[in-house]
């Protein structure tokens, strides 16, 4: 039985505010799951989006506010995934952002030291992806 927004509002003990459309999207992406008489909510844990315009999504929770934040270019390789698309059978299958120079350049270029709001995609791109 799929979760409904009205039922969630009635049964939830959480004080966090969530809009109905955000709730439906969070259920579709698997951030909110119904278990018997209660709901489980996964806050601040990024997941891959299926066939979306962005590569990752996260249900960002800050105080009493909840928001779906999408980030990452789906056309670019993400080195946490393991193998790059062009080298599936290669021995060099595991690339990591371990190159200090690449990481430093990315963080400087995107001004990651200024990104402190978890409700923005820049924060997740800087702090989770890199």
Give tens-digit pLDDT for 61-81: 888 888 899 998 888 766 655
Q: Please give the Cα distance from 103 to 99 (Å, whole number).
A: 6
Number of structural domains (the chain) is 1
**Confidence at residue 82, expressed as pLDDT on a 0 to 100 scale:** 44
Is residue 69 within 8 A of residue 58, CB to CB? The reply is yes
pTM of the predicted model as reported, rounded to 2 decimal places: 0.73
**Tens digit of pLDDT for each residue in 103-114?**
888 889 989 999
Going by C-alpha positions, the residue among 16, 17, 20 that lies closest to residue 28 is 20
Q: Please give the Cα distance from 68 to 84 (Å, whole number).
A: 27
Question: Domain range for residue 114?
Answer: 5-129
**Confidence at residue 91, expressed as pLDDT on a 0 to 100 scale:** 47
Return the bridge partners of 33, or none.
40
**Confidence at residue 64, expressed as pLDDT on a 0 to 100 scale:** 81
Residues of the chain with pLDDT under 50: 1, 82-84, 89-94
Is residue 117 within 8 A of residue 58, CB to CB? The reply is no
């Amino acid at each position: 039985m799929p979760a409904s927004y009205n039922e969630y509002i009635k049964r939830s003990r959480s004080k966090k505010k969530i809009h109905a459309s955000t709730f439906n999207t969070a259920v579709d992406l698997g951030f909110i799951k119904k278990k018997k008489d209660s709901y489980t909510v996964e806050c601040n844990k990024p997941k891959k989006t299926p066939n979306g315009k962005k590569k990752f999504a996260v249900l960002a929770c800050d105080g009493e506010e909840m928001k779906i934040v999408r980030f990452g270019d789906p056309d670019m390789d993400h080195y946490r995934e393991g193998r790059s698309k062009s080298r599936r059978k290669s021995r060099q299958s595991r690339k990591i952002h371990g190159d200090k120079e690449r990481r430093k350049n990315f963080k400087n270029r995107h001004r990651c030291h200024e990104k402190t709001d978890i409700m923005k995609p820049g924060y997740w791109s800087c702090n989770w992806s890199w």
